[in-house]
Structure 1
């Protein structure tokens, strides 16, 4: 029963962010029904073995745990959503610094405790521009109080499928807002007391907070020490030791990502266990030599419980209680409790119990990929360990060669099984996979686990005892890392390692997960052949379930529109950042979106004009993504595999019996003016979908303004429009009143960025639409806006309605 209760609790917590009123309304009836079943079991059926009653108790226990988990997650989420900032503003903050910072390209990202925003302190993330290197005195020091002046930066990511969810990350990290620091003034404790925060100061003087502060100070000092060493891979040394990526260069990080080994750059369970094992091994040698009689008083397995768990706790504290480290700590504590109570150790029970306990203290860890990846990997490793134990019992190993072969087999078997088991999770969280990762892990993991990480840990221990020896060990370890990177770069040259995008819908993923569960269950529980039935939908499924779909993507201040039917795919513009080298809309938004939608090539791309916010994303990916035909109002450089043509009024493409695309502007004689009048000569696209209700006709205006609108009304007086994508992102110089009145669309859409300096969509256009009773949707408020046709119904979906933290 304990396994079912833990599983139900975990699944309930995992529903965080999805508002399910019906589920929550069943909580009280479920408690009542459970109480009745339990009372019946303890009284009426006390001496009778009623199978139906046991099954009912198990089922209702699971369902009740699920309901309680969902309710608990919802309450915790509502509390955080209530505290987060919604609007940008100029503020003066009173803050305390209790966490180490992270340096990223001349910007310090510093978690701050804000004292004067709510009744209780809340955590924000401050950004401070710096010019000095990381070793010099930092602007915000640990254990100090400050008055900061600056601008709030509420979390507002790109609500587009496949793209990193910044708002979810802020919620999971308990960060209520970003804050751009403009001015800093240090305050004394006396000044803080005078401001009315004496109780907070008193809490920081408590021994537990002082210990945490000391640990953070030591982490910062160790980072400075590594930075000062004459080593080539200082960022990698630090990342493998503490999970801090402040010194890690982008090239190395990208190399690990391409090989599917980025999880090694974060603290994981093996890091923690290696430290504990090294300490306990050294302690064991001392006892054998000087005090062997201790084992007569306390058996070895009981004696080492306290030092082992203490080492795990110490390392977890040192790395900031990251989720994988916490998972290891809780698992060790659960195993220790089972040993002390002389209970049978069941791996699945231990993992489920430790996960359930972790989610009580931090339910938001369920939003982290690290939580799921680490627990699934642990489950696979424990299943392999159980199999090996059974095999050794049947055929014990006698020679060293047999031992070597067994260990090599274990390494290879564990890596491919972990790769297969984590496949669905990699699709869910990262939407892509590195097929070379089993090979790279087989070669790199032993080196990292048996050489690099132990040397890192030994050097860190020596740092607190004798720093010259620590410096020497770090330098030796740097050579070891050079050999590792040489191997990875060699593999990269041979196999051209890269992440492969994979798209699966919910039902496909569920089917694959069920199949893998059957594969990894112990023999005899279910026939392994049943897994084939679960994998069959992979070959039989239709990857394009909709007859037609059109998505106006949330790309910030810009425009990108994706169109697809069963046979062809098209994009109108690809957005673009003002500096694609700093943040690439093409690589960070367009490619991930196409990946999760299973698009490996585009048939057509229409760049309405060549402004950066419409074509910048294309420029950053044109060599990486195949596109057959490209159209624009000006000549544009294309990749060798692409063909360029001008878009001209009158062009038509009949995609199928259902979809027709027509270019309404510019006229051929005006193409020469596009160099000087980019906006006004934008390619205007009219798209018709037959037998679709309520949205059938789409008009995409690019950045065209009043003159083009007037020309279109003259050339196409009977134009029917159901959905109008406003010209120039809703600028006041587009969407004229007469144009809107004559077209009278059912819906208007503005593609614009939050807090954009142009004020798009403009107040004037919003007023015109309101007067004409035309609803307005914007990517600012609703994220990606998607129209999808199934049978004869054109459904409308808003990305920001999918999770509570995305809603505006």
Structure 2
């Protein structure tokens, strides 16, 4: 019953940000039913062993845990959201520096405690210019107070399915806003007290806060020490030791990404566990050789538990007691307690208890991919531990060579099992995977865990005792890292691995998860053959059952529209960043979105014109996504597998008697002006969905302005429009009053970026729409906007920013 409560608790916390009315009403009845069944079990039904009663108990326990988790998550989230910044403005703040910064090529990111913004102290992410190259030190020192001037930079996500949710990350990290610093003034303690913050000053003088500050200072000193050493791979050393990527060069980071080993550069536990096991094994050998009588007083497992936990705790100190490290420490402590009290180590129980305890102290860690990935990896490792434990009786009969073979077998087995077990989670969070990961991990993880990390830790310890010795160990470790990178570069040359985007919708993903869970459960829990049934949707999913949908995607300041009906797929533009190499709209938004939709190939792509905010993403992913046919008003480079044709007036498509599409502009004879007049020569698409209500006719204006609008009214005087995607993102030079009045759409949509420099959609355009009583939706306020046709022909509207509480914006919404 406790296990079911824990499962319900974790899943209840996982609903954070979503609203479930049934769970909101279930709390009091759930508690009452749980107490009632517990009393019945202890009194009247004490000796009853009926299966249905046990099942009822488990269901009530699960529902109680689910409800408690849901309410706890909702309470914590509401408290955190009330201090979040949502508007850009220039401010003056008083800040306290408590955490070590993170260095970048152009800027320094520094978490700061803001004292004067709200009644409570909040945390912001400050961005400062990186002046380290000029020889100056970081302008913000640990343990100091500052008066800072700058601009608030609220977190604003691309609210598109599959895209990285920056607002969620800020909330998980307890960051209420970004802050671009323009001026800094250091404050003395007397000035801080005079400003009225003496209480905060006294709080920071407490023993616990002073210990945390000392740890951060030592981490900073250690980073500076490593940075001063005559070694080539100082960034990789620091990242593997503490998770700090400040000194890591982009080429090495990209190499690890291609091999699917980025988790090793974050604060991670598995390689430290290997180090802890190695340390305990070495200690065991020393005791057995020189002090075997110690085992007469204390059994081996009881004696070695303490150094094992101490080594993990030491790692936590090195990484600043971050949540991922504490998660590893908590699991180790629980396992140790089970061993000390002679209880059987059950992997599922260990993970459930540690996860439940962690979520009490930090429910927001449920939003982190590291939470799920680390617990998934721990579950597989603990299952392997069980296997080893079951074979321990045979170990005495094996020779040393046989033991080595067994250990190699377990190493290989663990890598492919972890790869398979974490495959659904990798797809859920990253939408891509590197197939060479099991092979690279086979060599990298033992080398990192058994050689590099121990040397890193030894060098760090030597730094506090004798710096020259620490420097010598770092130079030795540099050679070991060079060997690892040489091997990875050799594999890179042989296999040329890349991160492959995988298209998998929710139904297929869920069936894959269920199948893998069945495979990894202990024997005799469920028949392994049932997993085959779960894998059937992987090969039998019928794409022809997809309903019509049109998605105006949130790609910031740009436009991208995805259309699907049954097995036909089309995109009109793909958006794009001014620098796709710096941040790729194609790789970070378009490909993940298509992956969530289960689309691995587009039938058609219409590039309305060749402005970067409409086609830049295509340039970055044209070789990563199969596209059968590309249309544009200008010649564009395409892969060999694609075909090209010009987009011109009169071009039509018919999809299985459900959808008709027509190009209304430009005329074929005007295509010669496309390069000089990109906006007015944009491809304007008219789309009709048959037997759909209330939205049947869609007009997609791209970047066309008044001239094109006038020509469309002349060529198509009887045009019926229910949904109008505003031309040029709602610019004042488009959407003329006469054009809007004649078409009189039911709603209009502006595809624009948050706080964009052009002011789109413009106030003039909004005033015209207001005068005509035409409702306005925008990707800024609603995020991605989806029209989906139900079986009864009703066209429903869905907004991406309604899916999670932190994404919602205060704006008038159209009821579908």
* Aligned match of 2:130: 130
3-state SS of paired residue (1:760): coil
In 2, distance between residues paired with 1:55 and 1:615?
Answer: 56
Per the alignment, residue 684 of structure 1 pairs with 684
Q: What stretches of structure 2 of length at least 5 have no aligned partner?
A: 810-816
- For residues 56-75 of structure 1, the aligned pairs below 5 Å read 56-75=56-75
Tell me the equivalent position of 1:108. 108
Contact 1:94–1:115 under 8 Å retained in 2: yes
Superposition TM-score, scaled by structure 1 size: 0.96
Aligned to 2:814: none
Listed one character per residue, the Cα deviations across residues 444-466 of structure 1 (whole Å, up to 9, x for unaligned) are 22211111111111111111112
The 1:404/1:295 distance shift into structure 2, 3 A limit, reads: closer
Distance 1:455 1:544, change over 3 A: farther
The answer on whether the counterparts of 1:571 and 1:605 sit within 8 Å (CA) in structure 2 is yes
Given that 1:555 and 1:585 are in contact with CA atoms closer than 8 Å, whether structure 2 keeps it comes out as yes
Q: Check 1:462–1:748 CA distance in 2 against 1; reply closer, same or farther (3 A cut).
A: same
Is residue 377 of structure 2 the alignment partner of residue 377 of structure 1? yes
Q: Secondary structure at the match of 1:231?
A: coil
SS in 2 for 1:123: strand
What SS does the corresponding residue of 1:26 show, helix, strand or coil?
Answer: helix
Deviation at 1:594, TM superposition (A): 2.5
2 CA distance for matches of 1:53 and 1:630? 62
Q: Residue 81 of structure 1 aligns with which residue?
A: 81
Mapped to 2, the partners of 1:711 and 1:675 lie a distance apart of 19
CA deviations 1:578-612 (Å, max 9, x no partner) are 22232222222222222333333333322222222
What does 1:591-606 align with in structure 2 at a 5 Å threshold?
Answer: 591-606=591-606
Per-residue deviation, 1:291: 6.4
Measured in 2, the distance between the counterparts of 1:111 and 1:273 equals 29
Deviations 1:480-528 (A, max 9, x none): 2222122222222222211222233333222222221211122222211
Q: Distance in 2 between matches of 1:150 and 1:281?
A: 54
Partner secondary structure for residue 465 of structure 2: coil
Report what 2:813 is aligned to: none
RMSD over aligned Cα atoms = 2.1
Counterpart for residue 540 of structure 1: 540
For the Cα contact (< 8 Å) 1:135–1:227, is it kept in 2? no
The equivalent of 2:348 in structure 1 is: 348
C-alpha distance 251-566 of structure 1, shift in aligned 2 (>3 A): farther
Map 1:531-680; keep pairs closer than 5 Å: 531-543=531-543, 545-680=545-680
Cα offset, 1:295, TM superposition: 4.6
Question: In the superposition, relative to structure 1, how do residues 645 and 514 fare at CA in structure 2: closer, same or farther (>3 Å)?
Answer: closer
Give yes or no for the alignment of 1:486 onto 2:511: no
The change in CA–CA distance for 1:443 and 1:292 in structure 2 (over 3 A counts) is: closer
Q: Which residue of 2 aligns with 1:419?
A: 419
Give the match for residue 430 of structure 2: 430
**1:266: which partner in 2?**
266
Mapped partners of 2:134, 2:112: distance in 1: 18
Residue matched to 1:801: 802
1: CA distance between counterparts of 2:195 and 2:545?
61
State the Cα deviation string for residues 277-312 of structure 1 (Å, max 9, x = none): 465566667766876655554444334444433332
CA shift for structure 1 position 46: 3.9
When structure 1 is superposed on structure 2, of 794-803 and 70-79 the one drifting more is 794-803
Give the direction of change, closer, same or farther, for the CA distance of 1:668–1:592 in structure 2 (3 Å limit). same
Shift of residue 477, structure 1, vs aligned partner: 1.6
Contact 2:505 2:595 in 1 (8 A): no
* Conservation of the 8 A alpha-carbon contact between 1:275 and 1:457: no
Q: Would the alpha carbon gap of residues 552 and 526 (structure 1) be closer, same or farther in structure 2, given more than 3 Å must change?
A: same
**Structure 1's 55 and 551: CA in aligned 2 closer, same or farther, altered over 3 A?**
closer
Which segments of 5 or more consecutive residues in structure 1 lack a partner in the other structure?
none
> How far apart are residue 56 of structure 1 and its match?
2.9
Call closer, same or farther: CA 1:785–1:434 in 2, change over 3 Å.
same
The separation in 2 between residues aligned to 1:507 and 1:663, in whole angstroms, is 35
Structure 2 equivalent of residue 11 of structure 1 = 11
SS at match of 2:634: coil
Alignment check: 8 A CA contact 2:433 2:502 kept: yes
CA contact (8 A) 1:754 1:780 kept: yes
Structure 2 counterpart SS, 1:112: strand
How far, CA to CA, are the matches of 2:26 and 2:90 in structure 1?
A: 45
Aligned to 2:234: 234
The residue number in structure 1 matching 2:710 is: 710
Secondary structure of the corresponding residue to residue 330 of structure 1: helix
Q: Is the 8 A contact 1:631 1:647 kept in 2?
A: yes
Q: Deviations over 1:204-242 (max 9, x none)?
A: 111111111111111111111111222222111111111
Which has the larger displacement, 714-723 or 788-797?
Answer: 788-797
C-alpha separation between the residues in 1 aligned to 2:477 and 2:760?
54
**What residue is the counterpart of 1:766 in the other structure?**
766
With over 3 angstroms needed to count, the CA separation of the structure-2 counterparts of 1:775 and 1:386, relative to structure 1, is: same
The answer to whether the Cα contact below 8 Å between 2:131 and 2:138 also exists between their aligned partners in 1 is: no
Secondary structure (helix, strand or coil) at the match of 2:756 reads: coil
Larger deviation: 232-241 or 319-328?
A: 319-328
2:31 pairs with 1:31: yes
Structure 1 residues 734 and 387: CA distance shift in structure 2, 3 A: same
Q: Indicate conservation of the 8 Å contact 1:692/1:794, yes or no.
A: yes
SS for the counterpart of 1:374 is helix
Residues 282-297 of structure 1: pairs in structure 2 closer than 5 A: 295-297=295-297
Residue in 2 that maps onto 1:218: 218
SS in 2 for 1:422: helix
Asked if the contact 1:788/1:796 (under 8 Å) is kept, the reply is yes
Q: Distance in 1 between matches of 2:248 and 2:757?
A: 34
Distance in 1, matches of 2:15 and 2:173, equals 18
Kept in 2, the 8 Å contact 1:703–1:727? The answer is: yes
Range with bigger deviation, 666-675 or 270-279: 270-279
Give matches, 1:181-260, under 5 Å: 181-260=181-260
Q: Do 2:275 and 2:449's aligned partners in 1 also have CA atoms closer than 8 Å?
A: no
Q: Deviations over 1:305-336 (max 9, x none)?
A: 44433332232132023333212211122123
